[in-house]
Structures are given as C-alpha cells and as structure tokens.
Chains A and B, each alone.
Chain A
Amino acid sequence: MRFSGSASYVTTRDLNLAVNAAITLQRPLLIKGEPGTGKTMLAEEVAAALGLPLFQWHIKSTTKAQQGLYEYDAVSRLRDSQLGEAKVADIGSYIVKGVLWQAFECETASVVLIDEIDKADIEFPNDLLRELDRMEFSVYETRQMVRARQRPVVVITSNNEKELPDAFLRRCFFHYIRFPDRETMKSIVDVHFPGLKPALLREALEVFFELREIPGLKKKPSTSELLDWLKLLLAEDIPPEVLRSKEQKAAIPPLHGALLKNEQDVHLFERLIFMARHNR
C-alpha cells in the first residue's frame, strides 16, 4: 500500500512520505496546518486511494474518549426495564459501538479519521494512548476484549488550539501541512477546475496571494476559500481583465465575500483600498 496523492487531491512529496511512513510502520499520523489546507480531506483521499473503508470521528469539546470505543445506553435499558421487555437481561444489547470498535472489527484494513482532536478536553488524547498503541480495549460491562483484526491507518488532525501531551505525541508521526506555494496552488486549481482559462487563473492567484500578504487579517483566505471564489468567478463569468484593471489596488476584487469571511477583515481591506485611491 503506497499513497501518492489522487486525481482530486494534490500532495507534496513530504506529505506522501509521511503518509507512507505511517502506513508502513502502522503509527497514527498527526496532521497540523492552517485551516483550509485539506487536513480532513487527507484521510478521505487516503481511504479512497487505497480502497479502504473510512471511519470518521469528529471531535467536539464535549467528546469523551470512551465514546470512540463504545457507549452503554443505560437510559434505554432503564426504560425497557420499566416496560418489562425481555432483552433487558442481556446487557450486551445496550452497548453501542463507537468508531474505533467498528474499525477494529472491520474485515479489511481501514482508515480512521480523528478530526480536530484539539477540540476535546485536555485529557482526551491520554485516554486513547493504549487503544491507539495496542489497538485493543476491554469492555467493562460485558468483560469482553476487543482487538483490531487489522491495524487501521489512523489520521488525526489538530488546529493547535490545545497542546497535546508528550506521551501521545511520541506515539504519532507528525506532519505540518504548509500553505501551498504558487506552483502547488496552480496544480491544485488545475485539479479542481480543469478548463480554467490560464489568464483568469493567473490574475486570480495574483489577487489571492496579494490578499494574503495584507498584515493584520484575522483569517487569511486559504485554499478552500480560493476554490470557492474561483467557482463563483466562473459562475458569474467574470473576465480576467476585471481582476486586474488599470486602477488595480484601488478596486475591490469582485465577489470578495468568498475570500474574506470576517467583517473586520472586509473593513480593513476596504480602508486599505480607500487609502490606495487617496494616495493616487
């Protein structure tokens, strides 16, 4: 099994290497990077490229590690007992399997995505140490041991909101997705909009990277925003000349709402434009 990007997902050489190392040595791969650089997409693409089933576990601030393994649905059992149902006697029928359990049970190897692990409580990664290391856990209620038939490929993403514990990091491989440079960006756009006019693309990239250079933006536009914007430009059929007209710098690029998502950023941008006009 070797991963080297796919038709719809452009990877860099270092990312390929990290993914392949993680697959070969069966370690979890921790992915960090700016929002919108395709961290979550990676797991989907790895699964698709290797032809493996994908199990996704999206973490929220209230998620507990236990929920990824299994949950004991005590409330249903209580209700059933009040109604006098027969299945109450079997505690196993109230155990709900979590994402990791499903992946462990899978006949083939699989890909597990643990998305935005930093959203959870600070102890969350520590609670999963053994489960990710040995790929096994025990179910207290039924005194049962669950072991992975095939060790899944685990991809973990983080947005850096919390520090992850050292013990957890030691068990992972780590890759930081850098913001793509102009060349990579071009190939990313090529993959998504194969028929895009070169002129439009060039102007759009110019505007886009210029926009990212503006100091003090709260949220710099990223790859996904660029793709959305291009989609809009295409839909509106805006000619490339409009993007870089003569009074460039003094004009607001069309449909800029797709690139700047923050009111303060739009204000800042408009002020800069205003100043540029003023200085002319």
Chain B
Amino acid sequence: MLIDFFLHLKASRLPVSIKEFLTLLEALRQHVIEHSIDDFYLLSRTVLVKDESHFDKFDRAFGEYFRGVEALPGMEVLIPEEWLRRAVRKHLSDAERARLEKLGWEKLMETFRQRLAEQKGRHSGGSKWIGSGGSSPFGHGGTHPEGIRLGGRSENRAAVKVWERREYRNLDDSIELGTRNIKVALRRLRRFAREGAADELDLEGTIAGTARNAGWLDLKLRPERHNAVKVLLLLDIGGSMDDHVRVCEELFSACRSEFKHLEHYYFHNCVYDYLWRDNRRRHSERVATHDVLHRYGSDYKLIFVGDAAMSPYELLQPNGSIEFNNAEPGAVWLRRLADTWQHTVWLNPESEHSWQYRQSTSLIHNLLGGRMFPLTLDGLERAMRLLSK
C-alpha cells in the first residue's frame, strides 16, 4: 500500500527519493508514531518533503491518495454505540472521562451523531476513518470539530484535516510572488567576486609562501569579498501594467536591499528614445535611452519587468508608439539594449500559458532569444540562473 503512496507522490511531481521512502518505512517499523493518520501525515511530511514550497503539493497529493481510503460508504451509521462507549473508555484518561461525564454522555453522543450527519452532507472527510483507522476511533473522531473539544483533548484541535486546510499554499513556488519569495530568488543573483584593492590578509597564502621561503615571513594580501552584482532594472508602468504594478513594486523593493549597484528606469509598453526615473515627473525629467546605453558598463545585468502586451505596431513600425512619435520601432530599441547587455532577461507577470496568444509577447520572446520568464518563484529562479551564468 505504501509503495502506491510513494508512487503517487512521485506522480504528483514531488521530489521524493527511494532512500527517503526507506527511511519512512524504517520510522514506521521503529514505532515513531502511533496508528493515527494525522501522525502519519506529519511523519511522512517530515521525512519526505524537504522544502516548505512543496508542502502544498504534498498536502494535495496526500489528500487525493487517502480520500480513497476514507471513502467507505455508510461507515458512520454502522458504529454500534456500545463499542464506541468502550473505545472511549479505553482511550480517554480518568480526568478526561470525569469532565466528559459532567457534560453527559447522552448529550455528547447526540452532538457526535449530529456532527457525523452534518459532516457527511458537507464533505466526506472526518468521520469515515473511524472505521479505516481502526485502533483509535475517538482519536480519529477527534478530527471532528466539536467532538474532540467535548472529549477535552485540546492538543488535537484540528477540525478540518491539516492537509485539507492547505495552509502552505502561499509557499508553493509556482504561484504569484510575495516579497519573501522574491528575496529568495534574487539572492541567486548574489555573486561574491573579488574586486578592488588587496587589503585582506590571505592567511593560507601567507603560510604557504612562508613555508616555501623556508621560514622567512612572506605576507600575502588579497582583495576583500563584496557583492559585485550590478543590476539595471527597466519597469513597464501604466496601461495594461496597472494590474501588475503591485507585484512589480514588491519585486522592486526586494531588489533595493539586495544589490549595491541597482539602477532603475521606467518605460511605457516598450522602450523608445526616452526613459524616466520618477513616474510622476515622467514628462519633465526624462533620460535619453542612448545615455543609459552608454552610462552603464556591459557587466550590468539587465532585467525588464513588463507584460509585453501591446499592439504589434508599437514594436514593428516607426511612429507606432501610442504616446510618442518614435523614429525607430520598439524592436530596434529592444535589440539595441539586448546587444549592449549580454545578460538580459524579461520578467513577465502574465502566466506563461497566455504568452503564445499575444502577438507582441511572442515577438519580444523571440527577440530576446527566449529569455522571457514568468514572474513566479520558479520563473525567477530560471531567470536568475541564466543571469548568473
């Protein structure tokens, strides 16, 4: 049965390995957990999943797999009361039972039954593992909302099954980004390079040199390490980008703290003769794109952020821009930028599936040699990996 479980996880594209699976079996053999599906969920997650961004995927796969096990129809009505009563005796401590007695057995059973009925109507979870789990009906019953609180085991306060709550959804790496996720990805850009004056004592080198000199001290110095990644950020603003401005700003604020050399400019839809630094004063304070081209060295990494959604004329025709009479089409400018900075990527907040349906998007995609990535953690990773090559 567990082999199927393992294969199911594998099929859900979780990076699980055989070694980890064997470890899980070993853990079961050594009785790390009691026979409870909640514990099994926690244990298998601890052993098999090594990154919180996979938690959500795991929750879903786990739910899918064990739904089959739970779905034994009519289980709840068949439980004889006498058996339940005895089971409860067995599994609750004296103190708990005393508290329970105070509430009244009848009332508890009433609530319990009601709960079961309700639960059945709403979704098929909870109650049904009473049969399938076997050993501890009330422990499992504990996943019923009120049932367990009446029973007084506050530790198990889960009403909905943990994996069905999907609390780790926002840690999944294929969905849209929050600032935290972006930071993780942008850190990939960090590259320590040794540059500048040699002012740090190279102890290893000194020792080796001194030994080679037969004991005469030979001091060796080396430049201090610092973060030497330089980034030029071009952000699309306005128009169709308004939906994505928030995401862009998060990306932007994440960048700020990450690099020493970070320059940013705005453009609208496509890059033409002018860029600007402050969107409120875009008409009064603008910079010629040619100046930008010359100002920053080729060791800068160029990142476009934009949805690349525009009319194809803006890219292909002179005077195609919607707000500016441009002598050269946008495609020429884009190619010029991409030629100047060898390390160029385009981050697109729209989902990757929709790119092919927009002419301008696939145009730019081709123009940059396929270096367009979605603005998800996964897309950023790919982009950053390309940039740091």
Q: Does A17 contact B (CB under 8 A)?
A: yes
Complex-state Cα separation, A242 to B30, whole angstroms? 54
Known: A25-B23, A27-B23, A161-B187. A78 touches B46 (CB 8 A): no
**Is the CB–CB distance between A24 and B15 below 8 Å?**
no
Of A103-111, A174-182, A206-214, the one with at least 4 CB within 8 A of chain B: A174-182
B20 within 8 A of partner (CB): yes
**Residue B68 at the A interface, CB < 8 A?**
no
Q: How far is the CA of A172 from the CA of B17 in the complex (A)?
A: 12
Could you tell me the distance between the alpha carbons of A164 and B52 in the complex, rounded to whole angstroms? 13
Is A78 within 8 A of B207, CB to CB? Answer: yes
Q: Which residues of A contact B50 (CB under 8 A)?
A: 30, 164, 169-170, 172, 174
Given A166-B15, A169-B50 in contact, is the A24-B27 Cβ separation under 8 Å?
A: yes
The residues of B that contact A24 with a CB separation of less than 8 Å are 27, 30, 32
A13, B155: Cβ atoms closer than 8 Å: yes
Q: How far is the CA of A176 from the CA of B203 in the complex (A)?
A: 39
Q: Say yes or no for A160: interface residue by CB 8 A criterion.
A: yes
**Residues from 18 to 35 in A contacting B, C-beta threshold 8 Å:** 18, 20-21, 24-25, 27, 30, 32
| B365 at the A interface (CB under 8 A) | no
Decide if B51 touches A18 in the complex (CB within 8 Å).
no
| Interface membership of A141, Cβ < 8 A | no
Contacting pair A17 B27 (CB below 8 A): no
- Report the interface size for chain A: residues with CB under 8 A from the other chain: 30
Residue interface mask B10-45, A partner, CB < 8 A = 1? 000001010110010011001011000001001100
- Contact assessment for A21 and B215 in the assembled complex, using a CB-CB cutoff below 8 Å: no
Please indicate the chain B residues that have their CB under 8 angstroms from the CB of A17 in the complex.
32-33, 39, 42-43, 46
Nearest opposing residue in chain B for A74, CB measure: B207
Which A residues are CB-close (under 8 A) to B168?
176
Q: Are A170 and B46 in contact (CB under 8 A)?
A: no
| A17 CA to B45 CA, complexed, in Å | 11
Interface contact A176-B55, CB-CB below 8 Å: yes
Q: Are B52 and A21 in contact (CB-based, < 8 A)?
A: no
The answer on a CB contact under 8 Å between A14 and B42 is: yes
**Contact check: which of B39, B51, B52, B210 meets A78 at CB < 8 Å?**
B210
B19 contacts A21, C-beta separation under 8 Å: no
The answer to the question of B47 belonging to the interface, with a C-beta cut-off of 8 Å to chain A, is yes
Contact B26 A174 (CB under 8 A): no
The reply on A261 being an interface residue by CB < 8 A is: no
For B, the interface residue count at a CB cutoff of 8 angstroms equals: 32
Q: Is the CB of B215 within 8 A of A25?
A: no
Any A CB within 8 A of the CB of B49: yes
Q: Does A279 contact B (CB under 8 A)?
A: no
Contact A173 B47 (CB under 8 A): yes
> Are A170 and B32 in contact, CB atoms less than 8 angstroms apart?
no
Q: Would you call A235 an interface residue if the criterion is a C-beta within 8 Å of the partner chain's C-beta atoms?
A: no
Instruction: Provide the residues of chain A in CB contact with B157, threshold 8 Å.
Output: 183
Chain B residues whose CB sits within 8 angstroms of the CB of A277 once the complex forms: none
Residue of B nearest to A20 (CB): B32
Residue of B nearest to A14 (CB): B42
Q: Give the docked Cα–Cα distance between A161 and B26 (Å).
A: 32
Q: Shortest CB–CB separation between residue A230 and chain B, in angstroms?
A: 23
Contact between B27 and A25 (Cβ–Cβ < 8 Å)? yes
- B167 interface hit (Cβ, 8 Å): yes
> Considering the chains assembled together, what is the distance between the CA atoms of A17 and B283 in angstroms?
61
Q: Is A82 an interface residue (CB 8 A)?
A: yes
Q: Does A150 contact B (CB under 8 A)?
A: no
B386 contacts A by Cβ under 8 Å: no
B249 to chain A: closest residue by CB: A216
B339 CB, min distance to chain A CBs, angstroms:
32
B46 A21 Cβ-Cβ under 8 A: yes
A 151-179 contacts with B by CB, 8 A: 160-162, 164, 166, 169-170, 172-176, 178
Are A25 and B46 in contact, CB atoms less than 8 angstroms apart?
no
CB neighbours of A74 from chain B (8 A): 207
Among B26, B50, B187, residue most surrounded by chain A Cβ atoms (within 10 Å): B50
Chain B residues whose C-beta falls within 8 Å of the C-beta of A30 in the assembled complex:
50
With most chain A CB atoms within 10 A of its CB, the pick from B20, B23, B32 is B32
A75 beta carbon closer than 8 Å to chain B: yes
Per a CB cutoff under 8 Å, which of A32, A170, A176 touches B20? A170
Interchain nearest-CB distance for B325 vs A (Å): 38
Complex CA–CA separation, A12 to B42 (angstroms): 11
Q: How far is the CA of A162 from the CA of B167 in the complex (A)?
A: 23
Asked if A173 and B46 sit within 8 Å, CB to CB, the answer is yes
| A21 close to B167 (CB less than 8 A) | no
What is the minimal beta-carbon distance from B66 to any residue of chain A, in angstroms? 17
Residues of A within 8 A of B42 (CB): 13-14, 17-18
A224 within 8 A of B: no
A 58-87 contacts with B by CB, 8 A: 74-75, 78, 81-82
Q: Which partner residue on chain B sits nearest A176 by CB separation?
A: B52
CA distance A178 to B42 in the complex (A): 13
Tell me the complex Cα distance, A162–B210, Å. Answer: 36
Instruction: Judge whether B210 and A21 touch: CB under 8 Å.
Output: no
Q: List, in ascending order, chain A residues with CB within 8 A of B17's CB.
A: 170
Say yes or no: is B184 at the interface (Cβ < 8 Å to chain A): yes
* In contact, A75 and B27 (Cβ under 8 angstroms): no
Q: A24-B30, A25-B30, A170-B17 are in contact. Are A81 and B46 (CB under 8 A)?
A: no
Q: How far is the CA of A176 from the CA of B168 in the complex (A)?
A: 10
8 A-B contact pairs sorted by A residue (CB < 8 Å): A21-B46, A25-B26, A75-B203, A78-B207, A78-B211, A164-B50, A174-B49, A175-B46
Told that A170-B19, A176-B168 touch, could you supply 11 new A-B pairs with CB distance under 8 A? A17-B39, A17-B42, A17-B46, A21-B43, A25-B27, A32-B52, A78-B211, A78-B215, A162-B187, A169-B51, A174-B46
